[in-house]
Structure 1
């Protein structure tokens, strides 16, 4: 009954944003979707995005929610404050974590990085880490990079004295395995997509031997960060083509790397590497290949046959509502490395980053509509791509139907499509702020919501390293579009007006 009531509330909120998008100045900070547990918030103007990145009070004070790894939900903040009042001395702060294992790992990492004494203790069914004020920024980074966090639903239940035990992750494992072609017993559910990626990294035998990993193609920002912070360094190949790609394949075949990471397609450039050549090189040297299908979603691409480990952010297209965060990881059953990888990954899923039962229930409700949403999004995105490709104000469009299409077509499912994520650059890039500000569609970070969601991706993900992203071919004025299920005429009209 609870899950049914939650779903009714979510659908009502979604319908509201489909017909009344959050795009105006007065919408700054409103949750996207209009839910207590929304994973995004409205940043309606270019200036508000910059203000958010720079921590300007006029922007931050209006934020009611945000992406859970970057923004502490009000319920999470209250949980931390209550724990501090009970456990902390003057000059100390507290971070609450879901399990003893997650607290132990955070303890070791924070103590080493902060070079300060940290203590941990149980806290009424959760775990608390107590640390000096000077380590606060590092603790926030750990929360962000690992995704092994207390969710807003878990925090709210705790505050209400209704913290729940148990798990429904086995039901999600079954559903995800059915979508990606894996085995249920080899599929694990995590509290976030990034925690699934981190579990993959921890499982690699080569990491324990001190080897670096290889990242192929420009990745989502924190996919690279976890390899830097929790591995032994990362070698980065910006574009999988030409002599540099050939050289990388030689180094893989020589067994140089602990593992090879790649998003298929990549985000935000939506490029697809030659998976056949990459997988062959990895298998030759028994180097684990870790692929992520989040940008297009498991109903569009069949990636697992090439991977040793497949990760997915269930927060995005699979949930399709934007009100719950989760991740999944599947080990390919016939991978020669499966036995070595599974034990470590299973422990991480159960003991370090389990998905809270309340979140699992919402996700199980949300994914029932995934197949229908996916078809609508695929069709709408292709129509929008065709419109933008022909528009004189648009210089470049990135979408799997346009970039390295022959590589994408090799993994596209028979009933799948090219996905709802695309990026554009204007013919006059300096006009991007004006176009963004006037766009009458919901604007904010994340993707995969049923309503169209637009953001200046590079500013949001890489504000402190824009010169580096430019060198990587990812312009500062890039606008990323997550296409929704509105009537396609509505989406195209919004862009036509803004570009005009």
Structure 2
């Protein structure tokens, strides 16, 4: 198998030797803790990181050039693809800084690269002749506010866009290599600190060779027919929208060059609502951008009010609901008893709930809400339902009939290759709020998805259905194996595993109600806890697979999720069942027998540390 399936050097890209990788290797529990604590040993070794948390080296370099060209010695900057997004960043920074002191001074600069003439529109140019870049400049100490906007919204420039800009900027004196900005007077969550985005380039990092397989990646992909040419970005985006809408009658290798063209045969949608078309699908640069946009859409189409966050979500979803608009009610367990609490909230705040956001299933506890019951409440009280289907994915689950808006991170299993970001938003044309939502998007939506990213995403997604089937099968086999080692012990069990969070075992009645068929799987993600913290650490360290953030990869990828996502709020997370020792695993496409042996080895290491003896 690929080297991505084994533990890689700490700080290296995952996948290995990939310039635009969206994960980074943190191969041991100790490495992950050190990363969270800002240990120089780890930070200096990192050549990349998850794009919304670690700004890519190319983007750092481009930002340095922009600071040198347009800023003062006291200013830092952050980069966006459109003026609207940059203005949103300025408004956010002013608002958030005003809550803790004086509003931060922010100024915007438009930088047209590759032409002396203004573009025809305000969106990112998709040709090679001109790119429009929007620079947000601010005092260096205010960087964490800008970083919050970058992280939560997912609307920053991509690394491919930065590379394209760098290739088009005329030779001129360059700014020095990016260095860490000083920390603010009042430090906030570690995800917003300067070190997590702009750590100094280390000698080890700077001495490493460039990634050979990406030096002429665009040429090779186009030359040998895997990618569409860059001029075909519009076709690639249309192909993806059709794929996501479920309207392609034929989507086999012989069709891939044609599926984005006009005049091909399209059928009724397979998404559970046959009226869905490609025009109901909207693409975004990241999955979080789709969630942010769904929240903005709800706020602008419904009467003012709070949102509901149902279930323990991925961290930035909750941050979006808390920081934009009047806030939210957090029903963090996501169980049926929480629907009882929701009904009480609705009675006490009739007409004041804008939307309910939930994941199906949730990350990392893999819980599913009772969507029919939530749908009935939404129809009765007039709020929107927004469902994140990233983990379940629409090959396995049919949730659009219960939602007004469905969002997904295409960066995950839709892509699989972990080398490009993307997101989607789908409207339910049968929903009672469809006309208002569609009308608002017609006015407010702008396509900021960079052309080259769309090209790679379209290529990656072509075989996603067959990949999902294999991943589903592998994951079920692994989880069935691990479940035989749960405590309390059976006659043959070692009892080392405390709990396995997986849709087959976790709220299965709600998941099965939405499965697309009897043959549909349970997805490729599960989480596992152990009888002791030492056992959890030993299991993770011994598991011979890639270790780092993200999920939905074609190769198995694991992380100590609570440490990575909630290190500064461990007690809070534990109140909702997300305990410190939880390990999250995204299963890949390796041979099933190989995977089972790898997990057996990891369990043996956990048992040895915990002193568990196998029963005879």
Whether TM exceeds 0.5 here: the answer is yes
Q: Which residue of 2 aligns with 1:435?
A: 539
> Paired residue for 1:458, among 562, 571, 579?
562
What is the alpha-carbon distance in structure 2 between the residues aligned to residue 419 and residue 407 of structure 1?
14
> Paired residue for 1:123, among 99, 105, 111?
111
Q: Which residue of 1 aligns with 2:429?
A: 333
Secondary structure of the corresponding residue to residue 260 of structure 1: strand
Backbone CA RMSD of aligned residues: 1.9
Secondary structure of the corresponding residue to residue 454 of structure 1: strand
What is the alpha-carbon distance in structure 2 between the residues aligned to residue 221 and residue 347 of structure 1?
29
> Paired residue for 2:287, among 183, 193, 196?
193
Q: Which runs of 5+ in 1 are unaligned?
A: 1-14
Q: Which residue of 2 aligns with 1:480?
A: 584
Q: Which residue of 1 aligns with 2:325?
A: 231
Q: Which residue of 2 aligns with 1:4?
A: none
Q: Contact 2:237–2:458 (CA<8 Å) still a contact in 1? A: no
What is the alpha-carbon distance in structure 1 between the residues aligned to residue 444 and residue 154 of structure 2?
12
Secondary structure of the corresponding residue to residue 160 of structure 1: helix
| Shift of residue 220, structure 1, vs aligned partner | 0.7
Q: Which residue of 1 aligns with 2:69?
A: 86
What is the alpha-carbon distance in structure 1 between the residues aligned to residue 435 and residue 22 of structure 2?
35
What is the alpha-carbon distance in structure 2 between the residues aligned to residue 237 and residue 136 of structure 1?
32
Q: Which residue of 1 aligns with 2:29?
A: 46
> Paired residue for 1:418, among 503, 522, 546?
522
Is the deviation greater in 132-141 or in 158-167? 158-167
Describe the shift of the 1:393–1:349 C-alpha distance in structure 2 as closer, same or farther (beyond 3 A): farther
Describe the shift of the 1:150–1:205 C-alpha distance in structure 2 as closer, same or farther (beyond 3 A): closer
Q: Contact 2:416–2:553 (CA<8 Å) still a contact in 1? A: yes
Q: Contact 1:41–1:63 (CA<8 Å) still a contact in 2? A: yes
Q: Which residue of 1 aligns with 2:356?
A: 260
Secondary structure of the corresponding residue to residue 38 of structure 2: coil
What is the alpha-carbon distance in structure 2 between the residues aligned to residue 177 and residue 128 of structure 1?
35
> Paired residue for 1:373, among 467, 484, 490?
467
| Shift of residue 338, structure 1, vs aligned partner | 1.2
Q: Contact 1:39–1:67 (CA<8 Å) still a contact in 2? A: yes
Q: Which runs of 5+ in 2 are unaligned?
A: 98-102, 113-131, 171-229, 247-269, 486-494, 605-616
Q: Contact 2:301–2:436 (CA<8 Å) still a contact in 1? A: no
Q: Which residue of 1 aligns with 2:242?
A: 174
Q: Which residue of 2 aligns with 1:276?
A: 372
Q: Which residue of 2 aligns with 1:10?
A: none
Secondary structure of the corresponding residue to residue 599 of structure 2: helix
Q: Which residue of 2 aligns with 1:99?
A: 82
What is the alpha-carbon distance in structure 2 between the residues aligned to residue 161 and residue 466 of structure 1?
45
Q: Which residue of 2 aligns with 1:468?
A: 572
Secondary structure of the corresponding residue to residue 76 of structure 1: helix
Secondary structure of the corresponding residue to residue 259 of structure 1: strand
What is the alpha-carbon distance in structure 1 between the residues aligned to residue 597 and residue 390 of structure 2?
28
Deviations 1:433-456 (A, max 9, x none): 222112111111100111100100
Number of positions where the alignment pairs a residue of Structure 1 with one of Structure 2: 480
What is the alpha-carbon distance in structure 2 between the residues aligned to residue 169 and residue 64 of structure 1?
30
Q: When you count helix as a share of all residues, which structure comes out higher?
A: 1
Q: Contact 2:22–2:50 (CA<8 Å) still a contact in 1? A: yes
How high is the TM-score relative to the length of structure 2? 0.75
What is the alpha-carbon distance in structure 2 between the residues aligned to residue 404 and residue 291 of structure 1?
17
Deviations 1:89-130 (A, max 9, x none): 121111111001111111111122231221101112211111
What is the alpha-carbon distance in structure 2 between the residues aligned to residue 255 and residue 416 of structure 1?
38
Q: Contact 2:284–2:290 (CA<8 Å) still a contact in 1? A: yes
Rg larger in 1 or in 2? 2
Q: Contact 1:120–1:127 (CA<8 Å) still a contact in 2? A: yes
Q: Which residue of 2 aligns with 1:285?
A: 381
Secondary structure of the corresponding residue to residue 311 of structure 1: strand
| Shift of residue 377, structure 1, vs aligned partner | 0.5
Secondary structure of the corresponding residue to residue 514 of structure 2: coil
What is the alpha-carbon distance in structure 2 between the residues aligned to residue 238 and residue 222 of structure 1?
14
Q: Contact 2:90–2:136 (CA<8 Å) still a contact in 1? A: yes
Q: Which residue of 1 aligns with 2:182?
A: none
What is the alpha-carbon distance in structure 2 between the residues aligned to residue 344 and residue 482 of structure 1?
36
Secondary structure of the corresponding residue to residue 2 of structure 2: helix
Secondary structure of the corresponding residue to residue 477 of structure 1: coil
Describe the shift of the 1:190–1:366 C-alpha distance in structure 2 as closer, same or farther (beyond 3 A): same
Q: Which residue of 1 aligns with 2:181?
A: none
